[in-house]
Amino acid sequence: MTQSTMSVRVISRQDEASDVVSWRLVAEETSLSLPRFEAGAHVDVYICDGLIRKYSLCNDPGEEGVYEIAVKRDPVSRGGSARLHANLHVGNSIKISQPLNHFSIDETAERVVLIAAGIGVTPLLAMCHSLHQSSKIFELHYFARSPGAAAYAARLKNCNFSSQVHFYFGLNPSATLLALQDILLATSDTPHVYFCGPAPFMASVKLLASQCLPPSHIHYEYFSPASTSPSLNNESFEVVLARTGITLIVPSNKSITDILFENAIEIETSCEAGVCGACVITVLDGVPHHRDEVLSTEDRAMNNKMLPCVSRCMGPRLTLDL
C-alpha cells in the first residue's frame, strides 16, 4: 500500500443490527479536520499486521469532520470484522486511508433508484443524504433477513426522507426476484440504478436492470468477489515493466500483484480480490483476461487497464506502465 494514511479516533460506537456495529471517527489531532468526501466513497482501514479492509462511509457527506463506517461481523472472518468488533472502542485510534470513490452518483441523473441487501446498504445511505440535500428524485429499496438484521432501519424510518424508503424483510429467493421485477421492470422512465449486497442478489439485480436500462445507467459495488468458475485454468505468462524494461514471470499459482511485491515493485492495493479498484494499472500492450468486479464492459473492451490482483493475460505477454 503506497497511499497516505490518517490517524483517526473513535468518538462513538453503536450496535446497528444483530451483527452490525457502527463507529464514528474524527481526526486524532484535534487541530485537524478530516477531508470532505462524496457519497459512495470508502476508506481503507488498517486493522493490524498488514490487514487492510475497505469500508463505505455511510454518514451524510455534508457532515464536516466526521466519518462513519459500519461493519458486519462475518462468521467466517479472516480477522477483519472480528477484530474490529472485539477491539475497536470509544477513545481508540486507528489508521485509515484518504477517501476513495469508485461508486459516485451520476450528477446528470434525473431519478435514482437505490437497491440494497443487508450490509450493502452502507454506501447507499450516504447517497440518500446527498440526493435528499440536492432535491433529487430517489427511492431506496432495502432487503434484509428480518427487521433485527437490517442495519440503520430505525434511523431510516425516522429520517427526513423516510417516505422514500421501502423495506422488504424475510423474502425467499422467488419473492425477492418478484419484488425486484416490480421495482425495475415496472418503471416507465430510465432511472439510474445503484445497488450493493451479496453476490447472488447483485447478479439478480444486474440481470433485471440490463433488460430495461442502458449500461450507463447501471451502477454497482461488490463487497466480496462473485464466485469464480473452478474450471478456469491459470497459465503462466510474462509481464514487461515498460519504465525499466524488466521482464517478470507470473506463474499459474500467483497473481501479478504477488510477483510485483516479491520484486519490491509497489502499487496501491486494498482488497486483493478485484472488488475495490485500488490497484488498477495501465496496460500498454497485450490483452488482459479480466476477472475483476470493477471495470465496466466498455473499460474491458478497450484493454488498456486491468486489476493485477486477480486479472491475468489472454496471451504470452503483457506490457504494463510500471
pLDDT tens for 89-100 read 999 999 999 998
Instruction: Answer whether 139's CB lies under 8 Å from 164's CB.
Output: yes
How many distinct structural domains can be found in the chain? 3
Computed over every residue of the chain, the mean pLDDT equals 91
pLDDT of residue 213: 94
- Using DSSP's 3-state secondary structure scheme, residue 165 falls into strand
What pLDDT, on a 0 to 100 scale, did the predictor assign at position 2?
45
- Only one residue has cell 504477488, namely 258
Please indicate, yes or no, if residue 231 is contained in any of the structural domains. Answer: no
pLDDT at 230: 45
According to the model, what pLDDT value does residue 232 have? 56
Is it the case that residue 175 has pLDDT exceeding 80?
yes
Is residue 106 one of the residues assigned to a domain?
Answer: no
* 103 located within any domain: no
At residue 4, the pLDDT reads 79
What's the pLDDT score for residue 306? 96
CATH classification of the domain holding 142:
3.40.50.80
Question: How many percent of the chain have pLDDT more than 90?
Answer: 76
Same domain, 63 and 120: no
pLDDT (mean) for 129-136: 96
> Does 52 score more than 90 pLDDT?
no
Is residue 17 a part of any domain in this protein? yes
Per the structure, the complete domain to which residue 293 belongs is given by 237-320
Q: Are residues 118 and 215 in the same domain?
A: yes
- Does residue 56 share a domain with residue 23? yes
Say which range, 77-86, 163-172, 185-194, has the weakest mean pLDDT. 77-86
The pLDDT assigned to 14 comes to 97
3-state DSSP assignment of residue 207: helix
According to the model, what pLDDT value does residue 231 have? 44
Q: What percent of the chain has pLDDT over 70?
A: 95
Burial of 243 (0-12, 13-18, 19+ CB in 10 A): exposed
Lowest mean pLDDT among 52-56, 118-122, 294-298: 294-298
Q: What is the pLDDT of residue 139?
A: 97
**Higher pLDDT among residues 159 and 276, named by residue:** 159
pLDDT at 77: 65
Q: According to the model, what pLDDT value does residue 199 have?
A: 87
Whether the pLDDT of residue 273 is over 70: the answer is yes
Helices (H), ranges, the chain: 80-87, 122-133, 153-157, 173-185, 199-210, 256-262, 297-302
Mean pLDDT is lowest, of 196-200, 211-215, 270-274, 292-296, for 270-274
* pLDDT of 152 above 60: yes
pLDDT at residue 125 above 50? Answer: yes
Instruction: Return the ∠ at Cα 242 (arms to 239 and 246), rounded to 5°.
Output: 60
Q: What is the pLDDT of residue 1?
A: 40
Q: Is residue 196 part of a domain?
A: yes
CA distance 86 to 272: 24
Contact criterion met (CB below 8 Å) for 196 and 123: yes
The whole-number average pLDDT for the span 189-213 is: 93
Backbone phi and psi for residue 243, each to the nearest 5 degrees, phi listed first: -75, -25
Domain final residue pick, 97, 124, 156: 97
Q: Which of 192, 220, 248 is the last residue of a domain?
A: 220
Residue ending a domain, among 64, 97, 130, is 97
pLDDT tier at 227, thresholds 50, 70, 90:
low
Residues 32 and 9 in one domain: yes
User: Is residue 278 a contact partner of residue 12, using CB atoms and an 8 Å limit?
Assistant: no
